[in-house]
């Protein structure tokens, strides 16, 4: 306690777009927070809501999904399904009052290195303000 | 219930509701329309019911309990085991509670049930009694349920908690429906909900030419009361689940047996992620967590199981309450799931199992929808040339 809060944000990034966008942010030497822990997935629709729940209950202060822009999914419609599942998860978080603002969905293309950096900065700022994940201290989880 | 013009017919009740119904069912089996019936039958020990696929008309009259006091196995599960690999040419009629019909419709949308050649029969359900009542006192429980039926009592507080605020207790997507709420208690009102239903009723020799408006009025007024009950119930459920710590408290005595999931008609996966080896981690992880949190409970991940299950099935949850019946430590699982599911389904303006035609929302999408999420994905986009 009394320590500064260094948020941890798990980011599930689609290999065809957002992950490559993150790479571009790196090679362009753009700064984004070390809070972000990227996980590469084949498509944003690979992210089962359970992955987000698991990250959240294991203490991630924020969880991000990055996918291709609507219409650009490598598998045509994966991201549209992602969006619906995300809506379900948001609704569940709402019903359970689990701070749904800790969940974030973003469309970031392979050429949007700067957008990737901005999303990460913006989201990290927000989480920083929200403080640590409330599940972090509970033993009975 | 809002209904498009339905038509019904009546037969006089002789020797009780069940006996009258058995006769109708028997007639259908003797006709050349139906090859087999799927019906609850009391088990030899007398303290439960099993689903039996029956082909002998004589057995129907001797053994069937078409309206069972409790719901040991959800009917959708029984029908799934029969038709998961297709239904061939077997023509079956299954007698179910409305929530079992809804479960069936959901499973058919998920390709787990094949409804070809299946005729679904339902009835206005006063609620199922808790399963444990039946194992504790079989005879009393059965009598109590028959009492509810014959008194047309739809306001009992003895039925399962979720049944007390069930608003979909009447006719849904069934082909044939028995209007137990009808004010005329001397006759059984049978209503047809589809062409299959009309064929079924005429095969039993019934004249179907009546508009059941008295029944509709009655079910409407019961539904209004049930909606009030639901609002009240949700107000008491809310504090049990809102906020992480309250949720954790509600499930803190969960023993992780996953019975709630095995009893659930919607959870059809052969292996659940929660039971897979992917869901367990190295011991170092747990030690690390114990250090950071001060301690952690083992086996771990009970809440992940419940919230994860909600994320997978709440859109299709039919609030049948089987999860609560199955829980050995009396956690009000069904109340929590019902409460959350009502909101998930509302988000998509969907009612699980209500109509057979539409797809479940997870199977489709619209390009332009979910405005708020769309806004979220837009944020941080501004300074750049728009994406193309
Ligand atoms: S049945 Fe009860 S104890 Fe078993 S996993 Fe479900 S909630 Fe937990
Ligand atoms: S491939 Fe990127 S979201 Fe589907």
8 Å CB contact of B303 and A141 = yes
Is the distance from CB of B105 to CB of B173 less than 8 angstroms?
yes
Domain shared by B253 and B220, yes or no: no
What is the DSSP secondary structure assignment for residue A69, as one 8-state letter?
P
Beta bridge partners of B11: B188
CA distance A65 to A18: 9
Domain end marker among B213, B232, B251:
B232
Q: Omega of the bond prior to B156 within 30 degrees of 0, cis?
A: no
Distance CA B6, CA B61 (A): 28
Phi, psi of A75 (to 5 degrees): -105, 30
Pairwise CA distance, residues A24 & B64, whole Å? 69
The pLDDT of residue B1 is: 43
Q: In what side-by-side order are the strands of the sheet with B49-54?
A: B7-12, B187-192, B176-178, B118-123, B92-95, B36-42, B49-54
- pLDDT, residue B382, reads 55
Q: Are residues B191 and B96 in the same domain?
A: yes
**Domain co-membership, B301 together with B331:** yes
Left, alpha or beta for B319 (phi > 0: left; psi -120 to 50: alpha)? left
Task: Read off the pLDDT of residues B52-98 as tens digits, 9 standing for 90 and up.
Answer: 999 999 999 999 999 999 999 999 999 999 998 887 788 999 999 99
Judged against a pLDDT cut of 80, whether residue A1 lies above it is answered with no
Helix or strand or coil: residue A66? strand
- Using the Cβ of A89 and the Cβ atoms of chain B, whether some distance falls under 8 Å is answered with yes
| Domain boundaries along the sequence of chain A | 9-138
Do B195 and B257 share a structural domain?
A: no
A57 CB-side CA count, 13 A: 25
Count structural domains, chain B.
2
Q: Taken in order B219, B223, B224, B225, is the CA torsion positive or negative?
A: positive
Enclosing domain of residue B211:
7-232
Residue B158 tokens, joined:
């003895």
In this structure, the answer to whether residues B223 and B245 fall within a common structural domain is no
Tokens 């009102």 correspond to: B189
In 3D space, the residue among A9, A3, A4 whose CA is nearest the CA of residue A121 turns out to be A9
Residues B185, B65: one domain? yes
Among the three residues B169, B197, B232, which one is the final residue of a domain in this structure? B232
* Domain boundary, last residue among B211, B232, B253: B232
Fold of A9-138: Rossmann fold (3.40.50)
Nearest atom (ligand 1) to Cα of B261: 6
Using CA atoms, how far residue B22 sits from A14, B30, B43, in Å, is 58, 12, 17
What is the pLDDT at residue B4? 58
Task: Let me know whether B77 and B169 are in one domain.
Answer: yes
Residue B2 lies in a domain: no
Is the domain of B359 the same as that of B210? no
Q: Cβ(B352)–Cβ(B318) under 8 Å?
A: yes
Q: Is residue B224 part of a domain?
A: yes
* Chain A residue at shortest CA distance from B272: A50
| Predicted pLDDT at B2 | 42
Residues B109 and B59 in one domain: yes
Is the CB of A68 within 6 Å of ligand 2?
A: yes
Q: Based on the fold, state whether residues B180 and B285 are members of the same structural domain.
A: no
Contact B28, B21 (CB under 8 A): no
Helix H or strand E segment including A46: none
pLDDT above 60: residue A131: yes
Of the candidates B244, B301, B379, the beta carbon closest to that of A122 is on: B379
- Protein residue closest via CA to atom 7 of ligand 1: B254
Contacts of B157 (CB under 8 A, 6+ apart): B164
ipTM exceeding cut-off 0.85 for this assembly? yes
Task: Give the pLDDT score at B388.
Answer: 42
Q: What is the mean pLDDT of residues A84-112?
A: 96
The CA–CA distances, whole Å, from A12 to A9, A24, A38, A54, B207 equal 10, 16, 6, 13, 61
Residues B246/B186, Cβ–Cβ less than 8 Å: no
Asked if the Cβ–Cβ distance from B296 to A139 is below 8 Å, we say: yes
Q: β-strand B187-192 against B176-178: which pairing, if any?
A: antiparallel
CB contact under 8 A, B344 and A136: no
User: 3-state SS string over chain B?
Assistant: CCCCCCEEEEEECCCHHHHHHHHHHHHHHHCCCCCEEEEEEECCCCCCEEEEEECCHHHHHHHECCCCCCCCCCHHHHHHHHHCCCCCCCCEEEECCHHHHHHHHHHHHCCCCCCCCEEEEEECCCCCCCHHHHHHCHHHHHHHHHHHHHCCCCCCCCCCHHHHCCCCCCCCCCCEEECCCCCCCCEEEEEECCHHHHHHHHHCCCCCCECCHHHHHHHHHHHHHHHHHHHHHHHHHHHHHCCHHHHHHHCCCCCCCCHHHHHCCCCCCCCCHHHCHHHCCCHHHHHHHHHHHCCCCCCCCHHHHHHHHHHHHHHHCCCCCHHHHHCCCCCCHHHHHHHHHHHHHHHCCCCCCCCCCCCCHHHCCCCCCCHHHHHHHHCCCCCCCCCC
CA A6 to chain B, closest CA, distance in angstroms equals: 14
Report phi then psi at B257, rounded to 5: -80, -15
- Say yes or no: B34 and B152 in one domain: yes
Nearest-Cα residue of chain A relative to residue B367: A80
Q: Give me the tens of pLDDT residue by residue for chain B, a chain 388 residues long.
A: 444 568 999 999 999 999 999 999 999 999 999 999 999 999 999 999 999 999 999 999 999 999 999 999 999 999 999 998 887 788 999 999 999 999 999 999 999 999 999 999 999 999 999 999 999 999 999 999 999 999 999 999 999 999 999 999 999 999 999 999 999 999 999 999 999 999 999 999 999 999 999 999 999 999 999 999 999 999 999 999 999 999 999 999 999 999 999 999 999 998 899 888 888 888 999 999 899 888 988 888 899 999 999 999 999 999 999 999 999 999 999 999 999 999 999 999 999 999 988 889 999 999 889 988 988 888 876 555 445 4
**Choice from B240, B263, B272, B329 to test ligand 1 binding pocket (greatest atom count within 8 A of CB):** B329
Q: Is residue B271 part of a domain?
A: yes
Contact B44, B102 (CB under 8 A): no
What proportion of chain B, given as a percentage, has pLDDT over 90?
Answer: 82
The answer, yes or no, to whether any atom of ligand 1 lies below 6 A from the CB of B259, is: yes
B20 and B127 belong to one structural domain: yes
Q: So what's the pLDDT on residue B84?
A: 84
Q: Is B318 in the pocket of ligand 1 (CB under 6 A)?
A: no
């Amino acid at each position: 306690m009394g320590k500064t809060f260094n948020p941890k944000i798990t980011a599930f990034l689609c290999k065809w777009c957002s992950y490559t966008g993150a790479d571009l942010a790196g090679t362009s030497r753009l700064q984004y927070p070390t809070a972000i822990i990227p996980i590469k997935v084949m498509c944003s629709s690979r992210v089962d809501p359970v992955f987000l729940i698991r990250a959240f209950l294991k203490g991630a202060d924020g969880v991000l999904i990055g996918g291709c822009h609507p219409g650009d999914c490598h598998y045509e419609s994966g991201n549209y399904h992602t969006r619906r599942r995300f809506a379900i998860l948001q609704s569940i978080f709402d019903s359970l009052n689990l701070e749904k603002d800790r969940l974030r969905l973003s469309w970031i293309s392979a050429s949007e290195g700067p957008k990737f950096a901005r999303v990460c900065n913006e989201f990290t700022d927000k989480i920083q303000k929200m403080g640590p994940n409330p599940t972090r201290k509970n033993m009975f989880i | 219930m809002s209904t498009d013009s339905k038509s019904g017919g009546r037969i006089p009740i002789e020797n009780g509701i069940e006996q009258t119904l058995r006769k109708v069912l028997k007639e259908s089996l003797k006709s050349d329309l139906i090859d087999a019936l799927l019906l609850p039958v009391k088990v030899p020990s007398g303290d439960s019911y099993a689903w039996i696929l029956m082909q002998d008309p004589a057995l129907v009259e001797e053994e069937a309990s078409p309206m069972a006091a409790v719901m040991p196995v959800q009917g959708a599960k029984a029908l799934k085991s029969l038709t998961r690999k297709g239904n061939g040419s077997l023509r079956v009629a299954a007698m179910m509670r409305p929530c079992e019909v809804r479960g069936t419709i959901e499973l058919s949308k998920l390709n787990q049930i094949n409804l070809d050649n299946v005729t679904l029969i339902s009835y206005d359900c006063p609620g199922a009694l808790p399963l444990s009542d039946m194992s504790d006192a079989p005879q009393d429980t059965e009598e109590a349920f028959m009492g509810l039926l014959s008194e047309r009592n739809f306001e009992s507080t003895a039925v399962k908690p979720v049944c007390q605020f069930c608003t979909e207790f009447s006719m849904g997507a069934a082909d044939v429906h028995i209007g137990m709420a009808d004010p005329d208690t001397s006759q059984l009102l049978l209503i047809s909900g589809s062409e299959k239903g009309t064929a079924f009723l005429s095969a039993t020799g019934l004249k179907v030419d009546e508009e059941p408006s008295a029944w509709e009025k009655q079910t409407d007024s019961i539904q209004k009361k049930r909606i009030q009950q639901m609002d009240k119930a949700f107000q008491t459920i809310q504090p049990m689940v809102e906020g992480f710590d309250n949720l954790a408290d509600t499930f803190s005595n969960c023993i992780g047996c996953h019975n709630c999931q095995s009893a659930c008609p919607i959870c059809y996966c052969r292996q659940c992620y929660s039971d897979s080896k992917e869901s367990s981690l190295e011991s170092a992880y747990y030690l690390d967590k114990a250090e950071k949190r001060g301690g952690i409970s083992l086996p771990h991940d009970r809440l992940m199981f419940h919230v994860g299950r909600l994320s997978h099935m709440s859109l299709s949850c039919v609030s049948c309450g089987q999860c609560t019946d199955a829980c050995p430590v009396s956690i009000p699982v069904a109340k929590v799931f019902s409460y959350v599911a009502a909101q998930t389904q509302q988000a998509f303006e969907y009612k699980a199992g209500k109509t057979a035609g539409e797809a479940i929302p997870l199977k489709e999408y619209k390009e332009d929808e979910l405005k708020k999420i769309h806004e979220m994905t837009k944020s941080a986009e501004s300074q750049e040339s728009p994406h193309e």
